[in-house]
A = this chain, B = another copy of it.
Amino acid sequence: MTYKAPLRDYAFLLRHVLKLEDHADLPAFAGADIDTVEQILEEGGRLCEEVLAPLNTVGDKQGCVWSPDHTVKTPKGFKEAYQQMVAAGWPNLGGDPAYGGQGLPAVVQTAFQEMVSASNMAFGMYPGLTAGAYAAIHTGGSDEQKALYLPKMGSAQWGGTMNLTEPQCGTDLGLLRTKAVPQADGTYKISGQKIWISAGEHDMAENIIHLVLARIEGAPAGVKGISLFIVPKFIPTATGEPGERNAVYCTGLEEKMGIHGNATCYMSYEEATGWLIGEENSGLKLMFVMMNEARLGVGVQGLAQGEAAYQAAAAFAKDRLQGRSLTGPKNSAGPADPILVHPDVRRMLMDARAILEGGRAFMLWTSLHGDIARTSSDEAAVEKGNDYMGLMTPVVKAFLTDKGFKIASDAMQTHGGSGFTEHFPASQYLRDSRITLIYEGTNGVQALDLVGRKLAARGGRAVMSFFAEIDQFLAAQAEDAAMGPYLAGLKDAREKLQEGTLWLMQNGLANPDNAGAASTDYLHLFGLTALSYMWAKIARAALDQIAKGDQDPFYANKLTVGRYFIERILPDAGAHLAKLKTGSELMMSLPAEAF
């Protein structure tokens, strides 16, 4: 049950669908022509296949072990793999060259991230969280802070964490209680309890830099009184080495359904020394820098777990002999046919393919817009890139994780009884993937973010720009008969999404509960539309390659899976539209005591 990095798909998507070479003028792409990118991903894929994937089961079975001296031991082999990864410079793929990073485009980093998450999600979270903390310091830190922390966090020599949640506050950060008391030397004493801190303590990095939300004494109540602090486990010395042990301790690990290889920590801050990052009382803004980074990363995890689970299911379906094809034996020499001959098994595998291949395009396309937004000199492109990043982030997070979990569940189903045992990987994928629907803002919170904030921002400019791009594509392709089915699907989805958007505009303002009631169905309708667009772009690229005489069956298969998406996945769009238009009245009318 070995993981295979989807390198062929990356090469196709980056070269022919997203056409990275058209963006060669962006600074990030200066050292990253498409051949180099392919080579990097190939090497990264090897690390994931050969080093991280074999540790995935180990991590699940052993978990992390906490000791009363507040240390946490990671599963056997994690530390060596971490060192290997750091030594080879992988965490710094997208890091700022000013601080020792390689400065590669986010789109390349995203592909690498998918492979890491697919091969070992629990492991990948250690550098993943570090990258989020890195982004917050990069955005909001002083020059001194950046110089002190970014080089070592970029390389993942030092880890990083996000400390938001407290027992009484998760989604609602206004209820936060951790306090920060200003000291004469400009530092703060941080005191409070945090829970569910991923990678909060471990034995792989020489230091761990905690980014902690806390309330400065006397700050306003609610979300307007929250500041962000840097609280290192070991306070760096003048020369930037880990120095004195700070008063922040892991007081235990959370017992959870999956991602056992990642340490989910209870953290206790006992007048720990912290440094304010950014302005007083504007911690939430910086926290959202981490959070948005993290949300895209969680969407990638959802897709990645789906991919890994699909691969295991496909291997099982080709291997397991049971029953005969309904249309006559396909493996007459054997005692039975492989279960891949059964349409209902194919259905589950094809459903997975249609979502994963379209979803991968969506994830990389969104990432590329991030690169454009960050580095392009074309103002209109920057504006659109920023608009898209805002609009698509909740969709990437929630749609890809909902679907990733569904794929993991279907992958277990493909395994039959074997899937429910812990001897096959299906259970771990199902258990690990389940957290992606919850953390960094539940998928319900993503849906609210989409309909309540992102849609309405700047008069709906982002979504209108998305519709315009689709319309332009449809118009440009209209004459090509081979594109017919893909265009028809896209047109249908686009019309439904527009209808849903109009309904929200007309009904969501009058009664915000209508927006809330419609939000999840709207987000899924959005995701299906985005994937319809991606499949149309994929079909275009595949047809172009075929027209050029490339006879790799890869392209014909893409055309098939794309049509399958239109015929067997897209019909859900109509159901989502019908549901979202029913409003909130029935949903909200039972009295609380009736539940």
Contacts and interface: CB of A to CB of B under 8 A. Distances in A.
Contacts of A447: 344
B438 A413 contact: yes
A251 interface: no
Contact of A586 (B442, B567, B591): B567
A342 B417 contact: no
A435 B423 contact: no
Contact of A519 (B344, B434, B584): B344
A431 B257 contact: yes
B346 A587 contact: yes
Nearest to A255: B422
A586 B574 contact: no
A416 B343 contact: no
A93 interface: no
Nearest to A348: B444
A172 B336 contact: yes
A464 interface: no
A389 B421 CA distance: 31
B568 A579 contact: yes
A108 interface: no
A323 B419 CA distance: 39
B520 A421 contact: no
A465 interface: no
Contact of A435 (B338, B343, B420, B579): B420
Interface in A248-304: 254-258
Contacts of A511: 327
Contacts of A344: 444, 447-448, 516-517, 519-520
A568 B586 contact: yes
A322 B448 CA distance: 15
A56 to B, nearest CB: 16
A560 B575 contact: no
A493 to B, nearest CB: 13
Interface in A342-365: 342-350
A442 B589 CA distance: 38
A256 B420 contact: yes
A512 B438 contact: no
B420 A258 contact: yes
Given A256-B421, A595-B317, A516 B342 contact: yes
Contacts of A255: 421-423
A582 interface: yes
Given A350-B587, A413-B437, A314 B567 contact: no
Interface stretch (A147-155, A163-171, A497-505): A163-171
A347 B448 CA distance: 13
A65 interface: no
A511 B258 CA distance: 42
A447 B344 CA distance: 9
Contacts of A120: none
A68 interface: no
Q: Quick one: which of A165, A174, A434, A595 has the most chain B CB within 10 A?
A: A595
A587 B352 CA distance: 12
B318 A590 contact: no
A163 B55 CA distance: 36
Interface in A432-449: 434-435, 437-439, 442-444, 447-448
A327 B509 CA distance: 11
Nearest to A564: B586
B571 A586 contact: no
Interface of A: 165, 168-172, 174-175, 196, 254-258, 314, 317-318, 321-323, 325-327, 335-336, 338, 340, 342-350, 405, 409, 412-413, 416-417, 419-423, 427, 430-431, 434-435, 437-439, 442-444, 447-448, 511-513, 515-517, 519-520, 553, 557, 560-561, 563-564, 567-568, 571-572, 574-575, 578-579, 582, 584, 586-592, 594-595
Given A170-B417, A171-B416, A257-B431, 11 more contacts: A168-B321, A255-B422, A255-B423, A326-B512, A343-B516, A347-B520, A419-B438, A553-B591, A571-B579, A572-B575, A575-B575
